[in-house]
Structure 1
């Protein structure tokens, strides 16, 4: 099957270099890389279990990556402020993944949060990570889509 593909010149050069190193045609190199991307999904499911578990863990990983980018060299394991952002992101994501729909009924959403002032970086990270995962979290948006 023939497919026309438009890619940036820089990416084409990288693929051509990789193909040369691997002693493959450009087409074979692109095909090999695409196949490996699908194998990676299977490997994650094998390591972590169900697709739901993979989605949860990759959402958490995305949030951590965002937090690490915001805090730079400050390690979230040792920096108290970065750790608070991680705690918020984990809490938000866990709630979005595990609470039943009735948990988010309007009268329940008005109840006080454990810490009424969310950490801004933690909230940003969880919001973006949940959006990437296609999950919603009613506490974070009035239109119930994150």
Structure 2
């Protein structure tokens, strides 16, 4: 799919103002509401827009600890990557699962209410999973930059 400048401008606006009505977005771009809606629909159908999400403040919801875990699988031949990904993705506290190249096989972002809650998740849910070998935890102290527009 070829994107023109209007498509790119629309995508920039949607990343910042995703909840805005299409008429208001169209006003910013000099388009009518139906034309804006058609462009959004075309971008969705082409897979350029993969979805919409609401960003919540984890700390205000009682999740005061964020930990990044490096996980090295003990034996890649005995547990498939897909099985590990499926199992770890089922843990509610695991917010993201990234297959990476380097010292560890996976990088997980885990949220917990406090350190005791994180220890419970680590000991009872993650360390007991089949195939988990070495794990390294890095506790997030602060987050300086949030994901922004592409």
TM-score past 0.5 threshold: no
Question: TM-score normalized by structure 1?
Answer: 0.27
Q: Which has the higher contact order (CA 8 A, sep 6+)?
A: 2
**Quick check: which one's helix share is greater?**
1
